[in-house]
A and B are shown apart, each in its own frame.
Chain A
């Protein structure tokens, strides 16, 4: 379905979740799923009203992990917030770094040298692969296959995290990007190691898919479940694999042409039905496309500086103004909105968290399903609470 077809007639309240009246056959049960529930990926609560087995109302409750990241960033210098962005979506610290660096670079009009752009693409695509592998692993875990599929995903994720550790010094809290480049250069042995890991990745995805894609239980639990309509997805600001699984062709790497993504050949996988299975499949296919990008980027990486020599590091005070920068993070559109008043700290620092906004339509997807499926639908959104609550 193309986006132009979506201009359907829109009755009032078309983008609101339907109100379901209880059938009156049994008692209504109100259930608090979470905050300490293994399926919530952290501390998150869903207040669910159940009519028999069916969910007739669902209200997400946030804030258990809130520490007002934005306020803290307003009291710190621009660079001092860089390590803190690692803690937003702690699975993908490198893409968080990139989004923040991109927003600041837009604010001050900073150029990035070519080698640094290549390093950023390589690290972002590795991040995407390990995030998608882990999120699929968690999804299968929530389906009841405890441990084994998740460990398959983690085995591969660990190899990628080892690469991050040897380059940045940390597996997850990388703190690697800088305004106008990167913190340390990649070495030739590191690139060899990365090539070795990337060479094994497509075999891993094959194996993962052979185990899962045609699995009877996975198909029975996921197909036709938690369907999201494309027009609602666009209206509700859903982004990333969630949006593309509904069939909307919108990938910020292709739309905004940020970094050097124009130089690489890759396709944007799209779903058909917008159900959990499509989200799973889009993530699998995105991993394959990321491997393609890595296979192109690793041999092409040019020599040169990794920081723009003109980049200002000490006394960094952007001129008054504002900028919004966004990238295609593994979970969706991650944006940073910065207002500068000419001082050393941002006057306003706003994170546009994909995880939070993708949860807007959680109630719409869950209504009418039973509790066991709510766990799956929620898992298929792929959130990290560090980013939802900030």
Chain B
């Protein structure tokens, strides 16, 4: 198999302006990856599948990854002018102070695809796509038209992470039920108090009964005291 750098070069010649970025992996597995830009992702994926030398015809795995907003605290040396009284004389002195500045690095969602070739028996090639943010700009192009294997897996990423795959033929929740809000695999997800709660006709009946009892019983409860409450 070609190295990831060679594949990157091949993509750049085949799809001009593809905007492919090499992402190195520091673990001993050394499975480096390529980050594609969402605009050209489908074209690059089609090239990877149909090129006779690469022939990545088998999409093995699609996973979502959540990278929440990161607050980074940095120590910065700041020089400022301070007025000080030295030996009874007021002077303006330059002073260097350590200051901690906080900045937030915006988070994003990522879809990671692992490709293999059945024809050439090589792999894996890891490609990644990232969304603009974690809020309402979570659209990514779907690779299901290129590899059918992505159909259920992209539905799962949509369900659990909330990445909206445009061009997916059947984008619905797959593991959670259709009425479910939120995306449980996100790092900031909070469990609801009651998973199973849904309003039932019985609730209305119960409320009416309670209102009825409250109207009928105030005299009785007053006589019996707090024990019956």
Residue of chain B at shortest CB distance from A232 = B148
Complex interface bits, B50-93 against A, C-beta within 8 A gives 1, otherwise 0: 10000001111101010000000000000000000000000000
**Which B residues between 18 and 51 are near A, CB-CB below 8 angstroms?**
25-29, 31, 50
* Cα distance A70–B63 in the bound complex, in angstroms: 11
B58 near A237 with CB under 8 A, answer: yes
**Smallest beta-carbon distance A165→chain B, Å:** 32
One of A63, A108, A337 near B177 (C-beta < 8 A): A63
**Could you say which residues of chain A place their CB within 8 Å of the CB of B29?**
106-107, 109, 321-325
Contact for A320 among B27, B61, B65, B114, CB less than 8 A: B27
- Beta-carbon contacts under 8 Å, B172-196 to A: 173-177, 184-185
Answer whether residue A235 sits at the interface, using C-beta atoms and an 8 A cutoff. yes
A390 CA to B31 CA in the complex, in Å?
26
The reply to whether A324 and B31 contact each other, CB–CB distance below 8 Å, is yes
B28-A109 in contact (CB<8A): yes
For A255, the chain B residues whose CB sits under 8 A away are 121
- Shortest C-beta distance, A61 to chain B (Å), equals 9
Is B65 within 8 A of A236, CB to CB? Answer: no
Tell me if B25 and A324 are in contact (CB < 8 A).
no
Check: B118 CB closer than 8 A to any chain A CB. yes
Residue B126 is within 8 A (CB to CB) of chain A in the complex: yes
Q: Which of A335, A339, A357 contacts B149 (CB 8 A)?
A: A357
In the complex, what residues of B have CB within 8 A of residue A71's CB?
184-185
Q: Are the C-beta atoms of B118 and A248 separated by less than 8 Å?
A: yes
Docked-complex contact B31 and A235, CB < 8 angstroms: no
Whether B126 contacts A324 by the Cβ 8 Å rule is yes
B114 — nearest CB in chain A belongs to which residue?
A: A324
Whether A321 touches B25, Cβ cut-off 8 Å, given contacts A235-B149, A255-B121, A339-B65, is: yes
Q: How far is the CA of A250 from the CA of B121 in the complex (A)?
A: 8
The answer to whether A319 and B61 touch across the interface, beta carbons within 8 angstroms, is no
Interface string of A19-50 (1 = CB under 8 A from B): 00000000000000000000000000000000
Among B145, B173, B174, the most chain A Cβ lie within 10 Å of the Cβ of: B174
Cβ of A15 under 8 Å from chain B: yes
Is there an interface contact between B118 and A3, defined as CB atoms closer than 8 Å? yes
Query: Which of A121-129, A348-356, A375-383 is the contact stretch?
Result: A348-356
Question: Considering only CB atoms, which chain B residue lies closest to A60 in the complex?
Answer: B152
Mostly helix, strand, loop or mixed at chain A's interface? mixed
Q: Give Cα A318–Cα B25 distance, bound, in whole angstroms.
A: 13
Q: Are A4 and B119 in contact (CB under 8 A)?
A: yes
- Decide if B112 is an interface residue (CB 8 Å cutoff): yes
Q: Which residues between 115 and 163 of chain B lie within 8 Å of chain A, taking CB atoms?
A: 118-119, 121, 124, 126, 145, 147-153, 160
Identity of the chain B residue whose Cβ is nearest the Cβ of A10 in the assembled complex? B50
Q: Does chain A have a CB within 8 A of B169?
A: yes
Residues of chain A contacted by B149 (CB below 8 angstroms): 235-238, 357, 360
Which residues of chain A in 213-272 are interfacial with respect to chain B, using CB atoms and an 8 Å cutoff?
232, 234-238, 248, 250, 255
A335 and B114 contact, CB distance less than 8 A: yes
The residue from B60, B63, B152 contacting A360, defined by CB atoms under 8 A apart: B152
* In the bound complex, CA of A172 to CA of B144 (Å): 36
A50 to B220, alpha carbons, bound, how many Å? 62
Contact with B184, one of A15, A68, A250, A361 (Cβ below 8 angstroms): A68
The distance in angstroms between the C-alpha atoms of A66 and B145, with both chains bound, is 27
B177 partner residues in chain A, CB cutoff 8 A: 63
Say yes or no: A63 contacts B176, CB within 8 Å: yes
A108 B27 Cβ-Cβ under 8 A: yes
Contact of A352 among B60, B151, B173 (CB under 8 A): B60
A359 at the interface (CB under 8 A from B): yes
Q: Which 6 pairs of residues, A with B, have the shortest CB-CB distance?
A: A321-B27, A237-B149, A109-B28, A323-B29, A350-B63, A236-B148
Q: Which residues of A contact B (CB under 8 A)?
A: 3-4, 6-7, 15-16, 62-63, 66, 68, 70-71, 106-109, 232, 234-238, 248, 250, 255, 318-326, 333, 335, 337, 339-340, 348, 350, 352, 356-357, 359-361, 389-390
Residues on B facing A (Cβ under 8 Å): 25-29, 31, 50, 57-61, 63, 65, 112, 114, 118-119, 121, 124, 126, 145, 147-153, 160, 169, 173-177, 184-185
Q: 24 A-B residue contacts at CB 8 Å?
A: A3-B57, A6-B57, A15-B148, A62-B174, A63-B173, A107-B29, A108-B28, A234-B118, A236-B149, A237-B58, A250-B58, A320-B27, A321-B27, A321-B29, A322-B27, A337-B112, A337-B114, A340-B27, A348-B63, A350-B63, A352-B61, A357-B153, A360-B149, A389-B175
